[in-house]
């Protein structure tokens, strides 16, 4: 079931031409490069649902798996939040 969901997401992303080009570049590179914002309260703190500090990394990983499969490589880059 998980594989069907990943395939559906990939096919949906490929339906948009600009996104299709990006997916092709990610596939050619063999890894997804993501940037996470440090110091931004919305994504890097605690809320009533628990610790959200790793949410950006988890979203990046999920997108990488949807595009590249379960052995996807991810390169995470932290950037500071701007005022």
Question: Residue 14 has which token pair?
Answer: 């490929």
The answer to whether the Cα torsion of 13, 19, 21, 23 is positive or negative is: negative
Cβ proximity of 6 and 12 under 8 Å: no
Q: What's the rounded mean pLDDT across residues 38-44? A: 61
Categorize the per-residue pLDDT at 22 as very low, low, confident or very high, splitting at 50, 70 and 90. Answer: confident
Cβ proximity of 64 and 31 under 8 Å: yes
Q: What's the rounded mean pLDDT across residues 10-37? A: 79
Say yes or no to pLDDT of 2 above 60: no
Say yes or no to pLDDT of 14 above 70: no
Cβ proximity of 23 and 64 under 8 Å: no
Q: What's the rounded mean pLDDT across residues 4-32? A: 76
Contacts of 9 (CB under 8 A, 6+ apart): 66
Host domain of residue 7: 2-80
> Number of structural domains, the chain?
1
Model-wide pTM > 0.85: no
Contacts of 30 (CB under 8 A, 6+ apart): 68, 73
Categorize the per-residue pLDDT at 52 as very low, low, confident or very high, splitting at 50, 70 and 90. Answer: low
């Amino acid at each position: 079931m998980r594989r069907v969901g990943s395939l559906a997401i990939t096919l949906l992303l490929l339906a948009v031409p600009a996104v299709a080009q990006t997916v092709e570049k990610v596939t050619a590179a063999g890894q997804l490069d993501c940037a996470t914002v440090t110091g931004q309260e919305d994504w890097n703190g605690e809320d009533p649902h628990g610790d959200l500090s790793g949410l950006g990394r988890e979203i990046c990983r999920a997108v990488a798996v949807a595009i590249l499969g379960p052995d996807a490589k991810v390169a995470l880059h932290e950037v500071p939040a701007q005022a």
